[in-house]
Chain A
Amino acid sequence: MYKNLLLFGFMLLAGLSLVTAVDPPEPKPDAVPPSLETPFDQVMSVVMHQRCMNCHPQDDYPRQGADSHLHRFGIERGADGHGLPALQCATCHQTENNDFSGVPGAPHWHLAPLSMGWQGMSRTEVATAMLDRSKNGNRSHEQILEHLTKDKLVLWVFEPGVNHEGVAREKPPISQEAWVEAVTQWIENGAVIPEE
Chain B
Amino acid sequence: MAVKVIIPTPLRAYAGKQESVEVQAATVGEALLALTGKFGELKKHLFSEDGRLRSFVNVYVNDEDVRYLQKDQTPVREGDTVSIVPSIAGGARN
Real binding pair: no
Q: Which residues of B contact A (CB under 8 A)?
A: none
